[in-house]
Amino acid sequence: MSIYELLTQFGDKYLAALLTTWKLTAISFTLAFVIGIVITIMRISPIKPIRFVGDLYVQIFRNIPGAALLIILVYAFPYLNFVWSYYACVLIATSLLPASFCSEYLMAGMNTIGAGQIEAARSIGMTFFQTIKNVVLPQALRSSVLPMTNLLVATMLTTALASQVPLKPTDLTGIVSYINTRTVGGVTAFMISAFLYCATAVIIGQIGSLIDRKVRILR
Amino acid sequence: MEQSQKTFEILEEAPVIELRDVNKYFGSLHVLQDINLSVKKGEVVVIIGPSGSGKSTLCRTINRLESIDSGEIIIDGVSMPDEGKKLAEIRSQVGMVFQSFNLFAHKTILDNVTIGPIDVLHKSRKEAQAEAMELLKRVGVESQASKVPAQLSGGQQQRVAIARSLAMHPKAILFDEPTSALDPEMIGEVLNVMTELAQDGMTMVVVTHEMNFARRVASRVIFMDGGKILEEGTPDEFFAHPKTQRAKDFLESIKRHES
């Protein structure tokens, strides 16, 4: 089938798939971001067991393949009486994994802050959380915009995991199998999805560098 | 009458900063050895000594940026705990000015000065900003209020750091080599601000290599070497008649360097 035929026949399905991918990406990234911040604060906590748990989280979820995690969530957890919808399983997998990378980027961003600024905050009388809130996190966030942009793109690509479970409407990768089981879309069906992924990534990249230029800290 | 007079005198004499038998180790290195020091209200104590003598460590120890292994640090009659909210509270009463300024890079000059009063002292933003502008005026950088630290010269940044300390209404301010990272032409402007502070009666502990500042402004000079306080006296006494050989050598080497 030509691109034209595919688009006329499945155009609305592609659109729905694109929206599903966007939605999964947005929710996953937001969750990953929040979890990543919490994990990072744990990793710099003055209390050792809390630091350990934070580090452990990163070591575990940075090193599990997404597909493996999804299989565990979908097939193994029901035996432990945890039964979640397919949608929830995908979201858990696509949030927990990027959260570990988010934390790594924030840690790298923190390294750009001199120890002196943290001492200055403490000498003003700020507590641990006040120092994090006023000095550490704002600077770590502002200096990690570009890595976070990459993470957002990577999160979007990770949501292709959704194609492995029956979702309605399916995502950009899932739509290809949907089409190819009904007609002979061939490689062209893939290319349309690939183009939509690419276009989204380019837009994300542009917005990312725009934000980076705005918030970059003069040193 | 006599009794209350006596009580009054005792209160007056109570030191703002007191260190009792403070010891600190870096691994096996004994960097502070049985330090006893008391700084009264309005005193300007200048700590001098060769590098590695422990003078910076002593300064940082006073507000517990460095932990101690034994001894006690008492700020205005209250013993400093090792950690926690109480430590943060006492720290807020002791200002600190660092060699490398350490302004918050992502905040404007004005926000650098107001963040402490707003977040730690819970003042209103309006009140904090009005006072911050007064302080910035006092140290001569009010025209830079909306810039960020990287846009200022080192001397200007250090004066902002002093204003940031003052905004907390500290009982004393610690200066840890405040002019060592500055270009020569900027040292004067920072020392001038410090001299004015001293004249206004601020209690100060200053670690510095600026001997002229020590001569002119110090009420007391402390000479340290090898983690010990070797000498303590008025600047006149110390510079004219150092008692220990170590201090004589130190002053001699500086004189040679300065001439």
B204 touches B49 (CB < 8 A):
no
CA atoms within 13 Å, Cβ hemisphere of B188:
2
Token pair of A5, please? 């035929």
Q: Do B228 and B55 meet the contact criterion of CB atoms below 8 Å apart? A: no
Nearest by CB: B88 against A114, A125, A219: A125
Span B211-224, pLDDT tens digits: 999 999 999 999 99
Which residues from A are below 8 Å from B115, CB to CB?
Answer: 124, 134
Question: According to the model, what pLDDT value does residue B5 have?
Answer: 54
Min Cα distance B251 → chain A (Å) is 31
Tens digits of residue pLDDT in A66-110: 999 999 999 999 899 889 999 999 999 999 999 999 999 999 999
Q: Does B122 touch chain A (CB under 8 A)?
A: no
Per-residue pLDDT tens digits for B116-174: 999 999 999 999 999 999 999 999 999 999 999 999 999 999 999 999 999 999 999 99
pLDDT at B1 over 60: no
Minimal CA separation from B12 to chain A, in Å = 26
Q: What value of ipTM does the predicted structure carry?
A: 0.90
Residue of A nearest to B163 (CA): A124
Please give the interface size between A and B, counted as residue pairs whose CB atoms are below 8 Å apart: 76
CB contact under 8 A, B105 and A219: yes
Asked if B119's CB is within 8 angstroms of A134's CB, the reply is yes
Q: Report the percent of chain A where pLDDT is more than 90.
A: 79
Query: Rounded mean pLDDT of chain B?
Result: 92
- Among B91, B104, B105, select the one facing A122 at the smallest CB separation: B91
Q: Please, which residues have CB within 8 angstroms of residue A4's CB and are 6 or more apart in sequence?
A: none
Closest chain B C-alpha to A43 CA, distance in angstroms: 19
b (16+ CB within 10 A) / e for B208-230? bbbbebbeebbbbbbbbbebbbb
3-state secondary structure (DSSP) of residue B200? coil
Q: Are strands B29-39 and B17-26 parallel, antiparallel or unpaired?
A: antiparallel
pTM of structure? 0.87
pLDDT of residue A4: 86
Q: Give all strands of the β-sheet with B204-207 in edge-to-edge order.
A: B94-97, B172-176, B204-207, B44-48, B220-225, B228-233
Q: Does A144 touch chain B (CB under 8 A)?
A: no
**Residue ranges per structural domain of chain A:** 3-215
Mean pLDDT across A22-50: 96
- What percentage of residues in chain B have a pLDDT greater than 70? 94
In CATH terms, the fold of domain A3-215 is: MetI-like fold (1.10.3720)
Instruction: Give residues with Cβ within 8 angstroms of B87, minimum separation 6.
Output: B64, B80, B81
